[in-house]
Chains A and B, each alone.
Chain A
Amino acid sequence: MTLIRDRNIMLTKEERDRIFDEELMPHIDALYNFAYHHTLNEADANDLVQETYMKAYRFIDKYMVGTNAKAWLFTILKNAFINEYRKKAKRPHQVDLEEFTTYQDGEDTQLAGYVDMREELFDGLMGDEVTKAINTLPADFRTVILLCDVEGFTYEEISKITDIPIGTVRSRLHRARNMLKNVLQQYAESMGYKDKRTK
């Protein structure tokens, strides 16, 4: 059952604390992982998660109890991350230019191109290689693959979190998966796994 609260009623301190502990804090590990994949270091990921929770508490009156707390928190984190990068853009030496590369997303046209990857090729890869491979993707592609394939958000939720149209989510996800397969294939082959099919 979804409990919808009247937005005009201010919460008491006890209610805020209860919502914070019961509905928001359980998502902290997922948020931390998402943050870590974006900042690529522990200290910045901690700062980003802390900032996210501070903002969530400050705006907890805007949160509708019983709705999607996880998506709400991810949206806050994503915006905090973007703001942080805008600040860093004023100090260019701290910014990886690749993060700002723009891509021709295409609006949900037929998904052209498909990377075919055999199971036995990636079976030998470990978590570290998979994590490293995801981190080699440009930020926009990394984001959609983490939100969809790791965190299980729907296209609509991803569209709201990232503020891009659903069609773009879909095409970006398709490209991200192809990129990831290519990177994993290279890792697998460098470890001695061979795709024996004739191309």
Chain B
Amino acid sequence: DNEREFIRNKVNRRKVSPTLISSIKDKIRADH
């Protein structure tokens, strides 16, 4: 731990949908 590879490499990594990114930016524009 600098104070395993199987877990790091195999765990599913999802990508967020572009819709979520747009939604966050739209909401920020509306609120600020």
Identify the A interface with B (CB < 8 A).
Answer: 13, 16, 20, 25, 28-29, 32-33, 36, 46, 49-50, 53-54, 57, 119, 122-123, 125-128, 130-131, 134, 145, 148-150, 152, 154-155, 173, 180
Assess whether A127 is in contact with B10, with CB atoms less than 8 Å apart.
Answer: yes
Residue numbers in A under 8 Å from B2 (CB-CB): 154
Q: With the chains together, A180 CA to B21 CA distance in Å?
A: 33
Given contacts A32-B16, A50-B24, contact A57 B8 (CB under 8 A): no
Residue numbers in A under 8 Å from B1 (CB-CB): 148, 154-155, 173
Assess whether A54 is in contact with B16, with CB atoms less than 8 Å apart.
Answer: no
Assess whether B7 is in contact with A131, with CB atoms less than 8 Å apart.
Answer: no
Q: Of all chain B residues, which has the CB nearest A181?
A: B7
Q: With the chains together, A57 CA to B30 CA distance in Å?
A: 12
Q: Which of B3, B10, B23 contacts A50 (CB 8 A)?
A: B23
Count, A-B residue pairs, CB within 8 A: 71
Assess whether A128 is in contact with B27, with CB atoms less than 8 Å apart.
Answer: no
Assess whether A32 is in contact with B11, with CB atoms less than 8 Å apart.
Answer: no
Q: With the chains together, A150 CA to B2 CA distance in Å?
A: 14
Shortest distance in angstroms between B3's beta carbon and chain A's nearest beta carbon?
6
Given contacts A54-B27, A57-B28, A155-B1, contact A125 B14 (CB under 8 A): no
Residue numbers in B under 8 Å from A53 (CB-CB): 24, 28
Residue interface bits B15-28, CB-to-A below 8 A is 1, else 0: 11100110110011
Q: With the chains together, A62 CA to B5 CA distance in Å?
A: 35
Residue numbers in A under 8 Å from B24 (CB-CB): 49-50, 53-54
Given contacts A25-B21, A49-B20, contact A33 B7 (CB under 8 A): no
Given contacts A50-B23, A53-B24, contact A28 B16 (CB under 8 A): yes
